[in-house]
Structure formats: C-alpha cells, structure tokens
Amino acid sequence: MNKKKYKARIIQSVFFVFIGFFLGVGAIWPGIVTDTGRKCFFKIIKDGSDGNVSLSTIFSITPNYLMKIKNAQNKYFKVLLVGDFCFRKF
C-alpha cells in the first residue's frame, strides 16, 4: 500500500509541474496559443536557420527587436527574443 501512495504522489507532482510550466508559458507569451503567433515564430526561425534572412522577414520585425536580436549573446537569447516578438505581438 505504501508503494502505491509513493507512485501516486510522484505522478501528482509531475502533473503539477507540467501544468505550472504550461500556465507560466501561456502567461508570459499569450500569443503562443494562436495560429498566427506560431506561424510568425516558425517563419522567422526557418528563414534565419541557414544564415540568410530574406528582406520580407527583416521588414516584418520592428527595428527595436532587430537591434536586440543582433546584440544577443547566444542563439538561445535570439530564439527567446524572436518568440517574444511573435507571441506578444499577436
């Protein structure tokens, strides 16, 4: 009986962690649930993955975010800034 309680407690803890993670991401980036926000994000990531970015993608991003993305220290921060632009905009 004690082992069943332990497993149930672990499952309950994992469930609460996942729910908290998804609610946190949804609160920070509310546009992540919209189709336009995800399309924007994947378009920019796909276009910039080869190192060449098209002119239409550059014009779709505001100059303030372009400067932040250019000055980001690593790729992780660049992806966060692109997500921030796409998911807060829509």
Residue 74, CB half-sphere, CA atoms under 13 Å: how many? Answer: 1
What is the structure's pLDDT at 90? 53
Q: Is residue 10 over pLDDT 90? A: yes
Average pLDDT for 9-33: 90
How many CA atoms within 13 Å lie on the side-chain side of 21?
6
State the distance between the two ends of the chain, measured CA to CA, in whole angstroms: 50
Is residue 12 within 8 A of residue 67, CB to CB? The reply is no
- pLDDT of 89 strictly over 70: no
Total domain count, the chain: 1
Summarised one tens digit per residue, pLDDT across range 32-65 is 888 888 888 888 878 777 767 777 777 778 888 8
Q: What range does the domain containing 32 cover?
A: 2-89
Q: What's the pLDDT at 1?
A: 57
